[in-house]
Amino acid sequence: MTEREQELIRLAEEEVEKNKSVVERDPYRLRFHLMPPVGLLNDPNGFIQWNGTYHLFYQWMPFKTGHGAKYWGHYSSADLITWKHEPIALAPSEWFELNGCYSGSAIEHDGKMVLFYTGNVKDADGNRESYQCMAVSEDGLTFDKKGPVVELPEGYTAHFRDPKVWKKGAEWYMVVGAQSEDLTGKVALLRSADLVEWQHLGAIAGSGENGLGDFGYMWECPDLFELDGVEVLVVSPQGLKADGMNYQNVYQAGYFIGKLDYGSATFEHGDFVELDRGFEFYAPQTTLDKKGRRLMVGWMGVPEQDEDKHPTIKHKWIHALTLPRELKWIDGKLLQVPAEELTQMRKATLIELSKMELSDDKFQLPLEEKRVFELHLSLGADLSLLELAIGEAAKLTYDASSNVFSLHRKSFVIGEWEMRSCRLTQLTELQAFVDTSSIEVFLNGGEEVFTARLFPEHDASDAVKVCVSGTGTLMKMNAWDL
């Protein structure tokens, strides 16, 4: 580690200590989600299970709640429940990364953990250079930077970043989020025999590719993997226009189902589908664990979407990561299911009810005014209306006459109700994880998911009342303290 990197890490650690008390006093501080110890967190990076331990890195700006020259923060866990904040993994100390160690991924090779990330460089006039860099660790904690292994291929602007690496047969492959010289978003594919020398094979997907038409000016954070017999390309396109209920956030995160031909470096795929219908979800990353599960974590935020208005800023921090989700491909649908380990977070049982008729009269759930809980509803086929109110901060509604499910929340910018929705043929199951300032809702076993930050207008130390009403049969209801 160079003296410059040691100095940058020391300065970041000092920033954590200096602001520790003001950060921890924030009543919006989450109980069971990963957050920065100070400053801004964004993309999850380097998600891997290595030597039996899960490692999850994240983009981190420790010195302010805005974006800048990012570090890689680092969490580890044996069980996806209890996480340890590890020493800083990467700091932007070298010439090839002076303006940020941007997003990337992790692999295991020869018993070592190997990180790939984007080194971001800007000159005084704001002109950008980008390098795909490698760092190697023998202990999973300290990383030896090897410098750039990929320089910018022809045909792209310097918006070329977020390498995701995997092995197929005897060779390694990398997808990189990119912008072509005609200012359209692409996913570039590269191949290597040794992780050091990389050959650019071309763009395998993007705006104007595979019959897609105009589809954004930059594609970030690509992730390509096989899942139960299909291949999934996850990507975060920028520049999509809102289309009915779709693309309501400033930027999107979603996937294509297709087939990658490794020989011809082509990827035939279907339509783009959003991964999460809520207000805050972006730049997800997946890993394959030793159980054979494809796990995914996303950023509970969206770039340039009222980031400067979050109420946690006065406590010197902003943003969090989602809970880990398992991806499954069942009956032609990509499902997102909370990782099975999350059941271990359950403490006391708060509710255990079966078969009751819903009515227009709001029924206050016996949650003892908890602010942190998991709620699970099983609903009858006769359900025609449902409203689940979580204090004054959020409402979950379903109307069978229009087949529309919606998440409503009080805007933390203007204080008025705002909404995200999707079409749902029927609602049979609802699972919600409510934290002090967030909610993650899984519908019909993960068929649709809504993620959002919630900031109650009242004193956040107060509990919230949870009420349910509607028309139809509630088959079963369970809730647990977390």
Active site residues: 43
Pair 444, 273: CB distance under 8 Å: no
Q: Which residues pair with 477 in a beta bridge?
A: 353, 377
Residue among 333, 362, 346, 337 at smallest CA distance from 440: 337
Pair 442, 341: CB distance under 8 Å: no
**Using CA atoms, how far apart are residues 148 and 102, in angstroms rounded to an integer?**
13
User: Residue 314 has what DSSP assignment?
Assistant: G
**Using CA atoms, how far apart are residues 409 and 392, in angstroms rounded to an integer?**
8
Q: Which residues pair with 438 in a beta bridge?
A: 435, 453
**Using CA atoms, how far apart are residues 152 and 144, in angstroms rounded to an integer?**
22
**Using CA atoms, how far apart are residues 162 and 165, in angstroms rounded to an integer?**
10
Residue keyed to tokens 């499902």: 335
Pair 225, 286: CB distance under 8 Å: yes
**Using CA atoms, how far apart are residues 109 and 137, in angstroms rounded to an integer?**
10
Strands 185-192 and 273-274, by their bridges, are unpaired
In 311-417, alpha helices (H): none
Pair 323, 33: CB distance under 8 Å: yes
Residue among 448, 398, 442, 395 at smallest CA distance from 419: 395
